[in-house]
Amino acid sequence: MSGFKVVIPARLGSTRLPRKVLREVGGKPVVRHVWEAARRSGASEIVIATDSEEVLRVCTGFGADAQLTSPQHQSGTDRANEIARSRGWDARTVVVNLQGDEPLMPPALVRRAAELLDGDAEAHIASLCHPIHAAEEWRNPNVVKVVMDRRGYALYFSRAPIPWRRDGGTQDAPRMPEGLVFRHIGLYAYRVAALAEFSQLPPAPLEACEALEQLRALTYGFRIRMGVVDTPPPRGVDTEEDLKVVAALLSRS
């Protein structure tokens, strides 16, 4: 497909790793690596959406199209909606929300999310997931799991180990249901109309419970089309340790 857009939310403040989008890795700020990946995805337009004059200066300095967005936004989705609205993008345009702390996100996955939505008229949002094979990952509350219907639409997302096999295990030693467990990849494609509608919705109780924004979409009846990929993308940047891992991976590429 052609004509999809990418918005890269790049908030300067971060609780776990302050100023992470501007931290240097491999001689470049993290957000520049994200922008370069987006450029390789085939997107027709890429905008970095930030709440910081400093981030804006850095991004325009390396040639990116960057724009200041409201500091009141609670999420990258809200920043993406502000960009779409201010740029006058058509309601049918596909926008991929690529977080500014994902310097190793494969460009092919950005394009895959856009193509998935473009090819499904019934979907409001598209996202990706990959199979989980390790039980410790299934049980990890920092790993978001997704279960899907037979057509590939998300039924539920959770930090809990879902689905849960009723038989064949115990509470202390559960047996993971192989072939049914998928980890959600936090990459979203929206049509501009759905992005605008979603941004006007109040938070949902399930969203607050699990601290997962995508549960707001399910609560209000949005259809989220999931694409399954075999290999998970490399980790994003949330900690000093993540920075070291990303630097090591970039040095090998």
pLDDT of residue 2: 63
Measure the CA–CA gap between 181 and 174, rounded to whole angstroms.
Answer: 13
pLDDT of residue 56: 97
Q: Which domain holds residue 117?
A: 5-252
pLDDT of residue 1: 64
Domain total in the chain: 1
Q: What is the pTM assigned to this prediction?
A: 0.93
Strand partners, 145: 158, 183
Which residues of the chain fall short of a pLDDT of 70? 1-2, 169, 253
pLDDT of residue 246: 87
Per-residue pLDDT tens for 151-170?
A: 999 999 999 999 999 887 67
pLDDT of residue 240: 87
CATH number, domain of 125, equals: 3.90.550.10
